[in-house]
Chain A
Amino acid sequence: MTDKILKKEEIEKFYLDLSRYFNFFAPTKENGNIVFKKITDPCEIIFDFLNSKVPPKEIVFPRMETLFTYKINGKEIEIEPVNNLNEKYLIFGIRPCDAYSFNLLENFFASGKFQDDIFIEKRKNTILIGMGCNTPRQTCFCTSLDHGGHPHRMDDVDIFLTDLGDKYLMRSISKMGKAIIDKLAWLSDAQRKDVAKAVELSKKAEELIKTKVDLENIAETLKPHFDHPLWKEISENCLGCGTCAFLCPTCTCFDVIDENDHYNNRGKRIRLWDTCQFCIYTTHASGHNPRKSKIERCRNRILHKFSYYPKNYGMLGCVGCGRCIQSCPVNNDLRVIIHKIKNLEKEKIEVKIIAT
């Protein structure tokens, strides 16, 4: 199938055609931040953006989500499962790193002895319309990741867009993506020069990512250094605020609480994003805490992404979006941390040379 062209002035038409079937999410601007929001007016869409502050993960795994509702009537209790799982979602303009993170989330929620049926249903009902990054951020390092991370990676979306200035080159990637494009019969065919320009933009974008993080065998490198004093150094200035985790597209931890509507004898059990950076996250009822200081908590975050997740799923638990670097209030930089860890290996080799 040939690529299509979506002119920017046709976005309204595009939105009107698709919002009939989907909750249409797109990048919008709110208080100066880019945020993926369900839009009701295509004018809200921001075309010129780098990436959202909070990853679009929150559409399928919101920061607060109902697990079930209940009614209490004396000794009688009635439990109602959630009933909004048939809703269809479309995420317009999702960046390749965030689209790839959906795979990581799915690996985790859909595997093991128990599956998270709420996430799985939502993910199943979500269409991703990805958009290549022509101007990656300084903190981006997707090309350092072993999955073939690239500012124009297309593999994880249904439809891929390349911003050609006044129009988008539109390519269907999945069967679902093809079905959608087929329905939009008014789309014009792309010219050979459009495709060539897209290829050029993709190459240019790759060159713009100057940061190269050496992640080769990172899991192996981490293994013998669990008790290394480096973790103390890394965690020294950490505030334990959890920003890195809350803005991470691959973090999945949550808390569960009951939220009551006392006046109406009902309530709901909800889950809320949580993070291993908080002290109370692991504190036992007895007061004992297996990860009692920042040292253990910072180490857990790094090891989860670069050792535990790879061990369980055969891939790194990071997508290289750089949000944790950008938003850390004390400028802790994941790239520097990795670099320090990698240097431990070199140190060892140097010691060996001296010893012989």
Chain B
Amino acid sequence: MQLSAYIPCLTTIKSIISENEANDIKTFELVFRKEEDQENFDYNPGQFAEISVIGKGECPIGIASSPTEKGSIKFTIKKMGTVTTAMHMAEVGDAIGVRGPLGNGWPIEELKGKNIIVIGGGFAFSTLRSLVEFIIHDDNRADYKEIIVIYGNRNCSEILYQEDLMRWKKREDVDVALTIDCAEKGWDGRVGFVAPIVESVDPSPKNSIAIMCGPPIMIKTTEAVLEKLHFQPGQILESLENRMKCGIGKCGRCNIGDKFVCVDGPVFSKAELNKMPREY
């Protein structure tokens, strides 16, 4: 009998990249120890997985890699609690448990034929990175229209995935607008919070979907801007976080009304969120 719901697959840490000056955000590249586990891990951008440091516990983390990047999966993890701290102490070669993919992810089918405005703030950019990498891949790029990426951070040392962002910037089919809260020496990008930058970029709502991930204050202010730009609630997608344990809709705690963030989300449209209680 296969008892799979709670049992993680084992992976090995292949590489660890420190993403910021504070060294409290790292990207871990993991490779499944069993080939069949790798094949079964068939995911979409925007999904998450439960990461186990065996002996310490488990926590849900968004998948930062794109399904187009074969051979390994990546997770960007900020040092916060017991498991993430244990993760930060891990070394290349260590065993890490992965249970997933979980959650609904970004609706890549529904996004086909649309202009996509990706709006991110701080370290909540991981599943947005996954989405952009997926869309700009040669196999998929023709399915989607214009792509605008707006990404804000407190300062330039906090910007994740700098190499990827440079690569996207060089492409003619992606508009990248990077912003930091206050001006810094040597910074040639924009300065200011994400919401006003979205307003100045002024994306057209016509045939567009805005996809957002970031701290609550950024979400709130940017929602107002998008509304001003005539985006309808159905055109705004957000990925939520709530405390989770099981990730499969059984432990109870991530519920918002009758929905679970782990199985019904984490991606919800603003139209859906408007109907749900504000318990997130």
Residues of A within 8 A of B (CB): 67-68, 70, 72, 75-77, 79, 81-82, 85, 108-109, 112-118, 121, 226, 252-258, 260, 267, 269, 271, 274, 276, 281-286, 288, 290-291, 296, 300, 303-304, 307-308, 311-312
Interface pair A255/B54, CB less than 8 Å apart: no
Q: Which residues of chain B have C-beta atoms less than 8 A from A260's C-beta?
A: 55
Query: Is there a chain A Cβ closer than 8 Å to B223's Cβ?
Result: no
Interface pair A254/B245, CB less than 8 Å apart: yes
13 A-B contacts (beta carbon < 8 Å): A67-B7, A77-B10, A85-B1, A108-B250, A116-B248, A117-B1, A254-B250, A256-B245, A258-B55, A285-B243, A286-B80, A290-B256, A308-B257
Least CB distance, A154 to chain B, in whole angstroms: 30
Q: In the bound complex, how far is the Cα of B72 from the Cα of A103, in angstroms?
A: 42
Map CB proximity to A onto B56-71 as digits: 1 under 8 Å, 0 otherwise: 1111000000000000
Interface pair B55/A72, CB less than 8 Å apart: yes
Interface pair A75/B253, CB less than 8 Å apart: no
Least CB distance, B172 to chain A, in whole angstroms: 38
The size of the chain B interface, using a CB distance under 8 A, is: 43
Q: Which residue of B lies closest to A112 (CB)?
A: B249
Interface centre among A76, A117, A290 (most CB of B within 10 A): A290
A296 with B55, Cβ < 8 A, contacts A79-B10, A113-B248, A252-B252 known: no
Interface pair B257/A290, CB less than 8 Å apart: no
Q: Which residues of chain A have C-beta atoms less than 8 A from B58's C-beta?
A: 256, 258, 269
Q: In the bound complex, how far is the Cα of B204 from the Cα of A203, in angstroms?
A: 70
Residue of A115, A253, A258, A303 near B251 (CB, 8 A) is: A253
Least CB distance, A239 to chain B, in whole angstroms: 20
In the complex, which residues 129-153 of chain B have their Cβ closer than 8 Å to any Cβ of chain A?
Answer: none
Interface pair B258/A290, CB less than 8 Å apart: no
Residues of B within 8 A of A (CB): 1-8, 10, 54-59, 80-81, 84, 93-95, 97, 216, 241-243, 245-246, 248-253, 255-258, 263, 277-280
A258 with B54, Cβ < 8 A, contacts A117-B4, A276-B253, A288-B216 known: yes
Interface pair A113/B80, CB less than 8 Å apart: no
Interface pair B5/A285, CB less than 8 Å apart: no
Least CB distance, A73 to chain B, in whole angstroms: 10
Residue of B56, B84, B248, B257 near A258 (CB, 8 A) is: B56
Q: Which residues of chain B have C-beta atoms less than 8 A from A276's C-beta?
A: 252-253
Interface pair B57/A256, CB less than 8 Å apart: yes
Interface pair A253/B277, CB less than 8 Å apart: no
Q: In the bound complex, how far is the Cα of B54 from the Cα of A274, in angstroms?
A: 21
Q: Which residues of chain B have C-beta atoms less than 8 A from A282's C-beta?
A: 242-243, 253, 279
Q: In the bound complex, how far is the Cα of B55 from the Cα of A276, in angstroms?
A: 26
Interface pair A281/B253, CB less than 8 Å apart: yes
Q: Which residue of A lies closest to B56 (CB)?
A: A258
Q: Which residues of chain A have C-beta atoms less than 8 A from B4's C-beta?
A: 117
Residue of B3, B56, B277 near A117 (CB, 8 A) is: B3
A72-B54, A256-B245 known; 7 new pairs, CB 8 Å cut-off, are A68-B7, A108-B250, A112-B263, A254-B250, A254-B251, A258-B55, A282-B242
